[in-house]
């Protein structure tokens, strides 16, 4: 009987390659290339690009998570600001 070769899918090969790069280069490598990519995207596309993708992302989140999600994160943000203000006041008294 002939043995069948089992090849990798493109996805599997990419995953395997990504794991090797991560082991070889570490976290800083990915941070560096991400930073460079972000700077280049900003140069190429400009401020309007980020406004557009932010709006699309916000609309998608609103569609999938609903009004309650925004109420929850708004409340969490407000509580965090309140805590920071109180901590700042305590530091001023010292």
Domain positions in the chain are 10-93
Tell me if the pTM is above 0.85.
no
Task: Quote the CA–CA distance of 42 and 33 in Å, as a whole number.
Answer: 14
Question: Which residue's entry shows tokens 């090969």?
Answer: 13
Residue 94 pLDDT exceeds 60: yes
Task: List Cβ neighbours of 8 (8 Å cut-off, separation of 6 or more).
Answer: 16
1-50 pLDDT tens trace: 455 557 899 999 999 998 999 899 988 998 999 999 999 999 999 989 99
Contact 62, 70 (CB under 8 A): yes
Task: Quote the CA–CA distance of 68 and 41 in Å, as a whole number.
Answer: 33
Q: Where are the alpha helices (DSSP H) in the chain?
A: 10-25, 27-65, 67-93
């Amino acid at each position: 009987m002939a043995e069948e070769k089992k090849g990798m899918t493109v996805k599997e090969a990419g995953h395997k390659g990504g794991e090797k790069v991560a082991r070889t280069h570490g976290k800083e490598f990915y941070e560096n290339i991400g930073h460079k990519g972000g700077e280049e995207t900003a140069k190429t596309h400009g401020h309007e690009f980020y406004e557009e993708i932010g709006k699309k992302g916000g609309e998608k989140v609103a569609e999938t998570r609903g009004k309650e999600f925004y109420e929850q994160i708004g409340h969490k943000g407000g509580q965090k600001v309140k805590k920071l203000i109180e901590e700042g006041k305590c530091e001023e008294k010292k």
